[in-house]
Amino acid sequence: MSCKPSAVSCKLYVCICFLTTYSWRLISSKKRVVSGITTSGELHLGNYIGALQQFIALQSEYDGYFFLADLHALATVHDPEKLRKSIRSIANLYLACGLDPEQATFFCQSALPAHAELGWMLNTISTMGELSRMTQYKDKSAGNANDSIQAGLFTYPTLMAADILLYQPKLVPVGDDQKQHIELTRNLAERFNKRFSETFTVPDVLTPKQGARIMGLDDPSKKMSKSASSAANYIALVDSPEAIKKKISKAVTDSGTEIKAGKDRPALTNLLTIFSELEDVSVADLEKRYGGKSYRDFKSDLADVIIATLKPVQKTLEELETDPKYVDDILAKGAEKARPVAAKTLAEAKTAMGLG
């Protein structure tokens, strides 16, 4: 029998080569998005609606780089056990909420030293003035004397700029509270490109049209936050159905009895936004559905919608918790995929600044 390839197999080979090249081009021509979540506690509905839902909606259309911002967590968490637990629990939650490691690149920020290196380089082109104007820094340091404010809290946004610029993304999907940090990132990229040489893509921020700032259940004038002093402020993604029912029934409402959104009705606007985002129905339709009904009926249905959304997430979470190696492998593979991308930008930035 002849070992020479037949004409048919040659054609097949050419065809496979063409398809491989073409599909690779399709993948690599996808626009890139980058975002992260700080591993400093439990994730809540605000993170889910403002960030995770966006990541998951974008992952098939974009080349997504989504990471665990564990270096950022060091700005507030100095308890190693608490940090390890939060990293593990948020990694599991990303996956349980639907992040697909086959489509998106998922890793820990601390696995790539390039983040800290570029963070330092960007510190050297940032000013004390612009960093002191960051509202997150102002809120977190309020009431403390300069002597006791951690430098890491102050330079937090330059590390965030490094996280983003390393991957040359087109878009950065975040909640409302991070917009100012992305604006700073854009300024730093433009400054660097002008002062040294064209190195970084200047990314755009992407916030959801609705739900970019979910407010606290106990106080609708403040955002829902994992660092809130009371757990009544938020619904954690791991809260039990009983806890969810209790928190929603106790959630602050506005005066009056109408189930209506509006500038003068911040509490109901917030609850309606959560309902609308989780059930994919407009606020106007909900207002119609609950016209003439009581706060009690509305809240009871809202609690059911939240419980139904979180049920499959919590079920997957339970499974993932029994297999830590599975999640570790995904993070390790993600880091390996991110490494050359980050290394290329870092090398270009170093050369531009005169380091090599």
Provide the binding-site residues for ligand TRP, judged by CB under 6 A.
34-38, 69, 72, 160, 163-164, 172, 174, 178
Q: How far is the CB of 193 from ligand TRP (least distance, A)?
A: 19
172 binds, among ligand TRP, ligand AMP, none (CB under 5 to 8 A by kind): ligand TRP
What distance in Å separates the CA atoms of residue 226 and residue 220, rounded to the nearest whole number? 15
Per the annotation, the verdict on 350 as an active-site residue is no
163's contact among ligand TRP, ligand AMP, none, with CB below 5 to 8 A by partner kind, is ligand TRP
Is 263 in the active site?
A: no
Query: In whole angstroms, how close is the CB of 38 to ligand AMP at the nearest point?
Result: 4
Residue 56 vs 160, nearer CB to ligand TRP = 160
| Least CB distance to ligand AMP at residue 181 (A) | 9
Least distance from ligand TRP to the Cβ atom of residue 165, Å: 10
Residues of the shown chain interacting with ligand AMP in the complex, contacts defined by CB under 6 A: 37-38, 46-47, 49-51, 174-175, 177-178, 212-214, 223-224, 226
333 catalytic, yes or no?
no
The catalytic residue among 30, 82, 85, 140 is 140
Instruction: Specify the residue, 52 or 346, whose C-beta has the smaller distance to ligand AMP.
Output: 52
In this complex, which beta carbon is closest to ligand AMP, that of residue 166 or of residue 212? 212
Residue 224 binds: one of ligand AMP, ligand TRP, none (C-beta under 5 to 8 A by kind): ligand AMP
Minimum distance of ligand AMP from residue 64's CB (angstroms): 14
Catalytic residue annotation:
140, 223, 226
